Amino acid sequence: MSDPLIEAALAAREHAHAPFSRFKVGAAIATESGLIFTGCNIENATFGLTICAERVAVFKAVSEGSRDFLRIAIATDCETPAPPCGACRQILWEFCGDIELVLVNLQGRFETACLRDIFPRPFDASLL
């Protein structure tokens, strides 16, 4: 693969702390200005405090002042590349809108979709 965003997500996956699930995930989010922010999942013995790779990447970007997101790559070791969980879909929608998703596995298989394709009726500020 020669896509820098996918390579960044695969590399971020290596930093995952997943001693309980053994399900390592890496994410990399690209901005319109060409920056890439990465994240990995970090588990905790009290599972509710676990955070997903996608949210780490988004929160890192936002904390550094970026909000102009183009696409996000998510890397797992599933036979079929895995989409983001429900909590991550909500965060992605609020901060990124209908962002392009690139789902990839360690064997190089990848799929692309828009967030709206897997999150057809999001809750957002327009409903408040």
Q: Render pLDDT for 40-96 as a digit per residue (tens, 0 to 9).
A: 999 999 999 999 999 999 999 999 999 999 999 999 999 999 999 999 999 999 999
User: What is the structure's pLDDT at 1?
Assistant: 55
Catalytically annotated residue among 54, 64, 79, 94: 54
Q: Which CATH architecture has domain 4-127?
A: 3-Layer(aba) Sandwich (3.40)
How far is the first Cα of the chain from the last one, in angstroms, to the nearest whole number?
42
Q: Which residue has the tokens 């057809």?
A: 120
14 in catalytic set: no
Q: Which residue has the tokens 């676990």?
A: 50
pTM for the model stands at 0.95
3-state secondary structure of 95: helix
Residue 27 has pLDDT above 80, yes or no: yes
> What's the whole-number average pLDDT of the chain?
96
Instruction: Parse the chain into domains and list their residue ranges.
Output: 4-127
In sequence order, what are the residues at sequence separation of 6 or more whose Cβ sits closer than 8 angstroms to the Cβ of residue 88? 52, 54, 55
Q: What is the dihedral of CA 5, 112, 58, 70, to 10 degrees?
A: 70
Q: Which of 85, 87, 76 is nearest to 110 (CA)?
A: 76
